[in-house]
Amino acid sequence: MPADLQEKTDRYEGLLAEALDAAEVAPPEGTPMADAAAECEEMARSYLEDGRHFRDEGDPVNALASFSYGHAWLDAGARIGLFDVPEEGHLFTV
């Protein structure tokens, strides 16, 4: 049975918001890697806001895409060491 679009969109929004709360910048402040982490975090936050806007406008497909892209920024940053993240659980693929 295919996933319900509304349920999936809500679930991915929650995952992105939770992942943003859980991710902590790993490199020391003032370093180029810390700057890269800040940029990744800003992209993820922007996609969260975009997704919420799309959902409010009745566009769940673009909302889901935005939430997915936002999470991808965090997940990629975690994989290359920009973020300290929980290694257990469902938020990251580290």
CATH number (domain holding residue 48): 1.20.1270.90
Give the pLDDT of residue 91. 86
Indicate whether 34 belongs to any domain: yes
- Candidates 29, 61, 64; CA nearest to 47 is 64
* Mean pLDDT of the residues in the chain: 94
pLDDT at residue 47 tops 80? yes
Indicate whether 71 belongs to any domain: yes
| Contact in structure between 48 and 63 (CB atoms under 8 Å) | no
In the chain, the number of structural domains is: 1
pTM confidence score: 0.90
Domain of residue 63 covers 2-84
Token representation of residue 90: 């469902």
Indicate whether 58 belongs to any domain: yes
Q: Which residue carries 């996933």 as its tokens?
A: 3
